[in-house]
Structure 1
């Protein structure tokens, strides 16, 4: 069932999203070579709690952590792991959700540890641009396929990278994951029609090697399953929560009020 949110609900989710964005901005200044991924978990969880909210992922399908932390060829859903230290050139995806008084938000961001490389720069540039091409299609009257096609065309046809298909965006609020499913590939003018009041996530995952397929791996200590690129190439992800409105898509998890000005409430 797809729920359409009121203006009050969207504003509440925007407040939740501001807390989430603030946690990402905090991380940008703290990530460094030698940092333990468990410290990332603690920093994010503490930040969320200090702002009167809770980390929504805790307890979902038995998950125990505030964050998912996926490194290099890990595409998504990997856990923070005590003793796993960040290294120079690591490509780190940090994904988490925030619940502020029942209002949900969800956003993932990719960071480079230490020095970058031309390959990493290109991967992040393409993935970030793909997110915003998808957002631009999130207009009242458009269809889910318009979002997916914009991302797939840019990632695969223009840049010959792998546009992950098995992991998708989704509706959000009051639960973390709701209908509709938001695919990052597809055909224009196909699929569910977008309506004002929908709140969704768009979260393309891009593999540098050109293959979109993923494999499953397991964290030995816990048995938790996560995903890696099938060709073991570097993978990146960027994700925003956004509201579909009659005035266009509005990003609720913005970290950049200047660059995102046209997408803000």
Structure 2
């Protein structure tokens, strides 16, 4: 059953989502080669608690950390560790917070230093696919319209692997609510979207095969072929004509661009693509 929120509840959810965005902004400012994802986990935990919120992921079904830190071929659910990050790493940070009883939950992928054109392209296409999905998150459409838009752009147009085992989801007082929001599917299929449904839309796109496997830890999901994966996620509220994005990438992007250790050259690729 899809749970619809009041306008007042949407405002509270926006506060939760924006705290995730602010925390990711702190990550964007401190990321550099030599630091570890465990250091990032500690920073996020402290920042969240300093803002009177609770980490959503910590102890969720036994998950032992505040964040998921997925590097290179890790798609999602990577455990933070004490391995130093290095130039060329693809680093996805995903986590949630509970603030005033409501969850925020989104993800952002960063690039450290120099990398290949193939990785830059994967970053651009995955991020753009997120917004193509969001464009379909309007009242009267169906979940399959979001799914189709993401798959069409990433898999059919660019040949990337769209992960099947992991999907987006509803969001609210619970971290995972109905409906599930796959990144693949058919237009016109799935539950019909109504105003004030709240969704976490999150394309998880692999450079190579769509196939994945889970490490012995029971959490870490990797690409079957060892090629990199990229993950972007926004918290979104369904509206009549245009979806309301509750999270805020603009502050993350500003910090990312100000950090000389991070590679944002795919932004230029994006602007060129839009201009065509």
Under TM normalisation by the shorter chain, which class is it? over 0.9
Aligned position for 2:142: 143
TM-score by length of 2: 0.89
- The answer for the alignment partner of 1:56 in structure 2 is 56
Deviation for aligned residue 1:122: 0.4
Q: Which residue of 2 aligns with 1:107?
A: 106
Which range moves more in the overlay, 45-54 or 134-143?
A: 45-54
Q: State the secondary structure of the residue aligned to 2:92.
A: strand
Task: Determine the C-alpha separation between the residues in 1 that align with 2:143 and 2:17.
Answer: 23
Structure 1 residue 171 displacement after superposition: 0.5
Shifted more, 107-116 versus 177-186: the winner is: 107-116
Return the structure number with greater helix share.
Answer: 2
Give matches, 1:1-265, under 5 Å: 1-81=1-81, 83-209=82-208, 211-218=209-216, 223-256=217-250
Return the offset for 1:230.
1.2
| Range 121-130 or range 45-54, more displaced | 45-54
C-alpha contact (below 8 Å) 2:168/2:182 kept by paired residues: yes
Separation in 1, partners of 2:59, 2:35: 26
Structure 2: runs of 5+ lacking an equivalent: 254-276
Distance 1:54 1:107 in 2: 15
How far residue 247 of structure 1 moved from its aligned partner, in angstroms, is 4.3
What's the TM-score, normalizing by structure 1? 0.92
Aligned length: 252
Distance 2:95 2:213 in 1: 22
Q: Residues of 2 paired with 1:250 and 1:84: CA distance?
A: 38
Rounded to whole Å, the distance in 1 between the matches of 2:164 and 2:131 is 18
The residue number in structure 1 matching 2:267 is none
**Cα RMSD, aligned residues only:** 1.3
